[in-house]
Structures are given as structure tokens and as C-alpha cells.
Structure 1
Amino acid sequence: MKKVSLAVLISLSALTGAAYAQTENGVTMSTDPAKAADVEQRAQDLQTRQQAAAEAPAPMPAKHHKKGSSHHKAPAKAAQ
């Protein structure tokens, strides 16, 4: 029961935050074609950058080697 009430509380908090963001000039409507073109251009630029970042290979992390210590045991020397 606690998990359900916690989930409901979190959902209501998220909805309240979204509604508040829209009332504080977060979302505006405009019929200006220049503004619409600017927004579309920004969206295309963002999409292009995201695609380029996804296609670029991630840099490989450098391997760290400990000097002086070995993870392997030395082979036992044969007694003669």
C-alpha cells in the first residue's frame, strides 16, 4: 500500500510541476512565421548533433596497469 501511495504522490507532483511550468511563460503560442522557422531550424540542428554524437565512436578508457604486483602466481620451480 505504501508503494502505491508513493507512486500516486510522485505522479501528482510531476503533473503539478508540468502545469506550473506552462503557466510561467514556459509554453507560448505564436503565429509569426519567422519564429516558427527559427524553432524548426534549432530542432534540425539539435537532431543533427544528436545523430553525429550517436554515430561517433566513444573514446576507449585508458587501461591502468599496476607495476610491481602481479595477479598471477609464479610457476613453481622444479626441485633437482
Structure 2
Amino acid sequence: MLQVIQKLTVVSNPTRVFEVGTEHEGREVIEIKQVGAEYEDHVHSEFSVYDENDNLIASVENAPVIVDYRQIVDHDNEK
């Protein structure tokens, strides 16, 4: 099983929600990636939201978020 991000809720005022399969400003959200990095003395939290053409819709950095995952079957590893 593989876990992918299904929904990203940015806890801000106003709250912003990005969910795979929904539209955001007329563009369909296809993928949400966690692209942050962990360092010895801190963590850089970053999520990128992409549309159907692999164009960036939004980047969320160092903000409080709620992440909802979905488990999918990874067929590439089956024999």
C-alpha cells in the first residue's frame, strides 16, 4: 500500500482547502506533494499543489496544516 495526500487544509484566516479531484480557481487539483526538508535544528514544512498540466496552483510554507491521506495499491511492485 502507498499513502498519498488526498486533502490539505491550511489553518489560517480564512481557512484554505485543497483536495485532489476538486477545482481551485478554475483549475483541477491533481496532486499534492510534501516537499519540505528536515534539518538538524529545524524543519521546513512545505506542500505544493499541482493541476492537470503539472503547473503549480499553490505552495504552502511553514503554515499550520491538516493533512488527510488516502491509501492506494501500488501495482508497480506486484509480480
TM-score w.r.t. the length of structure 1 is: 0.15
Structure number with the higher helix fraction is 1
Structure with higher Rg: it is: 1
Greater percentage in strand: 2
Higher relative contact order (CA 8 A, sep 6+): 2
